[in-house]
Structure 1
Amino acid sequence: MSPELLLVFVPACFALNMAPGPNNLLSVSNASRFGFAAACTAGAGRLAAFVGMIAIAACGLAAVLQASALAFTVIKTVGALYLFYLAIQLWRAPAGPAPDGALAAGIRSASLWRLARQEFMVAAGNPKAILIFTAFLPQFVNPAEAAAPQFALLGALFLVLEWVAIAAYAYMGSHLGKWFAVPARRRLFNRICAGLLGAAGGGLLLSRKAADAA
């Protein structure tokens, strides 16, 4: 793969990583409640889902989603319902002041697996992510060279840039958490995030395959 192609891929890929979406919103929310480190660590769940999606795209199995309206609809519906569930949980979350010190560390430790699982489920429940990998990554694969090593390199770069995006959104969330330390502000912030997650779920339900929309 030529360096010129990589110079095109990296900024285009990073734009996708930084685009606002359910997972990035989840990072903001997690960081505001549990801290920067917890949100970044929980992002490993999202990366695990993306590793699987990149492997699926590399194997060409994502064509199943493009060809099967039923498979696309089932995954899309499950993902949307999970977003609605998270939105309800966040709407009802306690609005007390953010914990700190040893107590906060204990809460982050106890909740880390749950947060990572949420990140995984939100990413895995969005079939558009697989379609993005299927449509985006192959544009940078040179057909004259072996495809597998190129997919591995592009996938690794995508994951690194995604981790940077996770850290960026978590950083914003951690500072928002300090700003909304007042219970009334925290409640408002939680409900704004809940509304956005619910809207993302609604958008996911209303989305259609590009082929159907064409």
Structure 2
Amino acid sequence: MTMIDWLIFIPACFALNLAFGPNNLLAMTHGAKSGVGFAQTAALGRLLVFIPMIALSALGLGVILTTSAFVFSLVKFIGAAYLIWLGISIWRSAKTVEAGGFQSSPVPLRRAIKSEALVAVSNPKAILIFAAFFPQFVAVEAYWQSYVLLGAAFLLMEAIAICAYATFGKLASSFAADRLTVLQRVSGATMFLFGVLLLLSPHPTRS
């Protein structure tokens, strides 16, 4: 890759990393509820899932998702159902906040890691990024090296975005300690909305 490629890829990719979506909402929620360190550790589930997804896209399997309406719809429905369920769960957990405070019933780390991983793997938009966005910056003469470098850069920027969202969530909970129930319910409703929007999203076409 040339320097010009990097100068285009990095800001464009980081914008995708920072985009407000289900995983970043989850990082913000975990940051508010259990702290930035907890949120970053939980997000390892997301990063570990992204590694094989990037590899599969490099092998060309990601193209199947972008060209097959059936496969895309299957993944989309599974992902949407999980996001809707997760949104309802987060909303309902606000009752626990009302009863004993935001820190009274922290989410177990193992469950938080699992949630991050499931949200990442069940959302076809991640594969679309790897299958449709990455190839625009791949050097054909160094295909595998390019994909490794692109993947590493993506994961690094994803980790930075996770930290940013978790920090925002923690700060929001600190400055609005008396409205944590509202924050919890807004997070749940937004996650539910993400699920509905994903359910209604059309099958993408590759240019």
Matched with 1:124 is 121
Q: In the TM superposition, what is the alpha-carbon distance from 1:177 to its structure 2 partner?
A: 1.7
Q: In the TM superposition, what is the alpha-carbon distance from 1:56 to its structure 2 partner?
A: 1.1
Paired with 1:161 and 1:28, the residues of 2 have a C-alpha distance of 16
Residue 161 in 1 paired to residue 165 in 2? no
- 1:1-214 aligned within 5 A: 1-93=1-93, 94-95=96-97, 96-99=100-103, 107=106, 111-143=108-140, 145-182=141-178, 185-211=179-205
Contact 1:98 1:177 in 2 (8 A): no
- Listed as ranges, the gaps of 5+ residues in structure 1 are none
Answer with 66-75 or 169-178: which moved more.
66-75
- TM-superposition CA deviations, 1:126-181 (whole Å, max 9, x none): 112101111111111122x2200110001000000000000000000111121232
- TM-superposition CA deviations, 1:25-78 (whole Å, max 9, x none): 111111111111100111111111211211111000112112322211111111
Q: In the TM superposition, what is the alpha-carbon distance from 1:80 to its structure 2 partner?
A: 0.8
Percent identical residues: 43
- TM-superposition CA deviations, 1:76-124 (whole Å, max 9, x none): 111111111111111111113233xxx89xx56xx11110110110111
Paired with 1:175 and 1:25, the residues of 2 have a C-alpha distance of 14
Aligned residues: 203
Paired with 2:128 and 2:32, the residues of 1 have a C-alpha distance of 31
Task: Please tell me the root mean square deviation across aligned C-alpha atoms, in Å.
Answer: 1.8
Paired with 1:92 and 1:52, the residues of 2 have a C-alpha distance of 33
Give the TM-score taking structure 2 as reference length: 0.92
Give the TM-score taking structure 1 as reference length: 0.90
Paired with 1:85 and 1:179, the residues of 2 have a C-alpha distance of 29
Paired with 1:141 and 1:211, the residues of 2 have a C-alpha distance of 20
Contact 2:80 2:198 in 1 (8 A): yes
